[in-house]
Amino acid sequence: MDGYWRNSLLLAGLLWPLTIHAAEFGGRVVGISDGDTLTVQTDDNRRVRVRLAGIDAPEHDQPYGAAATRSLSALALDRAVRVRVVAEDDYGRTVGTVFADGRDLDAEQVRRGMAWVYRRYARSRSLYALEAEAKQARRGLWADSNPIPPWDWRHGGKTSKPSPSPSPSPSSRCGTKRTCGEMASCEEARFYLDHCGVKRLDRDKDGVPCEALCR
């Protein structure tokens, strides 16, 4: 998820590749790699891997990595999209802003608490306001007491000792509970969704279980 921007020039304080020019294309999303990367089958029948430009989602082995992937899948998989290209990264992925059903996927993932604003590359100031709102509401990854940004996780942050989270109470360990009505708290609902695989708690597939408890 790192390795951004090659063959770059200094523009407005950011590094942008010389090989990429302003462009836009349409297509349909045929694959989701993680919470900020997807594959688009273009209108001219090419497959293009696209990294969302202004955000950084949790890694697969990081808390909320799976939830962020599910959230992006619910937003974009099998949907028609428009991609505004801004760069190409070191992995050969197109980096761009992606719109599905008129929604900016960068903004929606941040609003849901499923990604951080990528400080080094984000150009939209509105993303920071959405992140602050999600943090205030303890939405998504912000429900954790000490969420580690992916750029720190990738570079050894996961081996450092974050503030310990309390051990789940006996009632929040995987048991027989299967419905939102049986959940005592948002924390318990998240535990059952993320660790016990009770997907029915997230009926609209936005990564947030039991909205009555968690919103």
CATH number of residue 42's parent domain: 2.40.50.90
Average pLDDT of the residues in 130-136? 95
The DSSP secondary-structure symbol of 201 reads G
Same domain, 70 and 128: yes
Same domain, 99 and 148: yes
d(CA 122, CA 63): 23
d(CA 62, CA 116): 13
Same domain, 131 and 194: no
Same domain, 98 and 187: no
Kindly tell me the sign of the dihedral angle through the C-alpha atoms of 64, 137, 207, 42: negative
Share of the chain above pLDDT 90, in %: 52
Q: Where are the alpha helices (DSSP H) in the chain?
A: 65-76, 105-111, 126-136, 150-154, 186-194, 211-214
Phi-psi label, residue 186: left if phi above 0, alpha if psi -120 to 50, beta otherwise: alpha
The per-residue pLDDT of the chain, averaged, comes to 81
Is 160 within the bounds of a domain? no
Is 50 within the bounds of a domain? yes
Tens of pLDDT, residues 144-155: 988 999 989 988
pLDDT at 215: 59
Same domain, 144 and 71: yes
The pLDDT of residue 180 is above 50: yes
Domain that holds residue 194: 166-214
Same domain, 91 and 125: yes
Same domain, 193 and 125: no
Same domain, 87 and 145: yes
Q: Point out the residues that are catalytic.
A: 51, 59, 93
Same domain, 86 and 189: no
Count of structural domains within the chain: 2
Tell me how far CA of residue 21 lies from CA of 85, 194, 202, 209, 214, in angstroms: 8, 40, 40, 41, 42
